[in-house]
Structure 1
């Protein structure tokens, strides 16, 4: 399938998915949101960060990934192309993104950018696309190295990116799910009950539950938080009492600590 077609389908799928959750979580909210959480200023802030990154994607992110896919080590045999290879690529990339996410919490330089995502003091589908452009660019460079090292086709990368966005929208969302369904899903994929603990405004909880699609990585590598989320728990960063404005969030990683 041509790359342009994949990009178009990715945009349609992700757009419909986030619209579905934005509507669903307002009809069936898990936690009651105060006016501040539902206000246009917060949604505009999150949407602004998303639109900035959406603008950078065709200018920088996609060309970097395309260049990397054209300069791989070239070890991949024909037998590792096709449907099963796509599943293997997704599993590998999900494993890698677990460690990249963990590095964003453990390395001070990366944390300066990633903290912008965690400053959101309420969680819903819009939180899933709220990232500083610096984090997006650093992620693109790290992903390019993985693409080159493991000879991953660009098509696999684009499919994985669509799945990551859809998974993130799901596990950041404020959609109320039946308890039994979420328990079953949590054994396989990351659910809101898992990921909300990652956004708890207590640093030991923030530094846990790093997985993005498959929930097994945290269990395998000892970062699974055994605590269950409370719908009234404080969201955000420990010691931070407010979110920033749009310009303030953009400038934050470049300010002295």
Structure 2
């Protein structure tokens, strides 16, 4: 099991690294919208997003993966007796569908619950949308998400293989959805009936709260349609990206901002 876990982590790392590198290049060759930043602002933005990503990468290796592995190993083995059909390749596919629905609701809670929003807001404060936004999260949100996921793993008896495949799928889908890659209009519209596309997720990052609080899906777009959170608005390239009435902050401020907001409200 340990060798399988290490192999899955290695494959996940290679695939995600190649995916993000490819989209980072292609979105600059075929951009959907021009990046209206000076060279210095671009460097500062890449530093902020890269520093947050680097922090979370270390945190993922040291804490998040062990938490998920512990939860999967500690989960009660009720599937083998109560749901023997919920195993193997079919089980993994069903796990991915269930987990994608649950991450939709977790994402939605991050927008509704003020305590969770304090951390998730760091992701939305980015005023430019591209591949690097997909890996820009506050480390507090990463820890909270890992704990919430551990509860689901324990409850649903989800094997570690499904967890790692799902985490890889989350990253791949997020990189695609956040990318500034220009796609043929017809192709993107057709894909949008099934998966979250850059055009759909662009609206989610619009700095108008009613749009920010919509289009919560990670991979599949039909969750938003089923649960009534799909925005009827279409992407416009003049839409302001970010958080309504809140400017971007330096890295150190982003790092501490959720805790300062908590302290300010006490």
TM-score range, shorter chain: over 0.9
Instruction: Give 2:186's aligned residue.
Output: 180
Could you report, residue by residue, the CA deviation over 1:199-222 in whole angstroms, capped at 9, with x for unpaired residues?
A: 000001100000000001000000
Offset at residue 35 of structure 1 (A): 2.4
Shift of 1:73: 2.4
Show the counterpart of 1:21. Answer: 23
CA distance in 2, matches of 1:36, 1:162: 33
Could you say what secondary structure the match of 2:239 adopts?
Answer: coil
Provide Cα deviations, 1:121-154, integer angstroms capped at 9, x if missing partner: 0000000000000000000000000000000001
Unaligned residue ranges in structure 2 (runs of 5+): none
Are positions 1:71 and 2:74 aligned together?
yes
Match of 1:189 in 2: 195
CA RMSD of aligned residues (A): 1.2
- Equivalent-residue separation in structure 1 for 2:184 and 2:151 (angstroms): 40
Name the residue aligned to 1:228: 234
SS in 1 for 2:134: helix
- Note if contact 1:36-1:42 (Cα within 8 Å) is conserved in structure 2: no
Residue of structure 2 equivalent to 1:80? 86
Deviation, 1:34, is: 1.2
How far 1:101 moved relative to its partner?
0.1
C-alpha distance in structure 1 between counterparts of 2:162 and 2:37, whole Å: 41
Taking the aligned partners of 2:200 and 2:78, their CA distance within structure 1 comes to: 37
- After superposition, the Cα gap between the structure-2 partners of 1:36 and 1:94, relative to the gap in structure 1 and judged at 3 Å, is farther
Match of residue 94, structure 1, among 96, 100, 105: 100
Q: Tell me which stretches of 4 or more aligned residues in structure 1 moved more than 2 Å.
A: 35-38
Q: How many residues align?
A: 256
Q: Distance in 2 between matches of 1:22 and 1:58?
A: 23
CA distance in 2, matches of 1:21, 1:93: 25
* Mapped partners of 1:167, 1:40: distance in 2: 25
**Counterpart selection for 1:62 from 65, 69, 72:** 65
Please tell me whether residue 248 in structure 1 is matched to residue 253 in structure 2: yes
**In 2: Cα distance, 1:116 partner to 1:190 partner:** 21
Partners of 1:225 and 1:125 in 2: CA distance: 22
- Take 1:148 and 1:57, find their aligned partners in 2: how far apart are those partners? 19
Equivalent residue for 1:151, pick from 157, 164, 176: 157
CA–CA distance in 2 between the matches of 1:80 and 1:217?
A: 22
Provide the residue aligned with 2:118 in structure 1.
112
Could you state the TM-score of these two structures normalised by the residue count of structure 1?
0.97
TM-score by length of 2: 0.94
Q: Secondary structure at 1:80's aligned position in 2?
A: coil
Equivalent of residue 47 in structure 2, options 24, 36, 44: 44
Structure 1's unaligned 5+ residue stretches are none
How far apart are residue 36 of structure 1 and its match?
A: 4.0
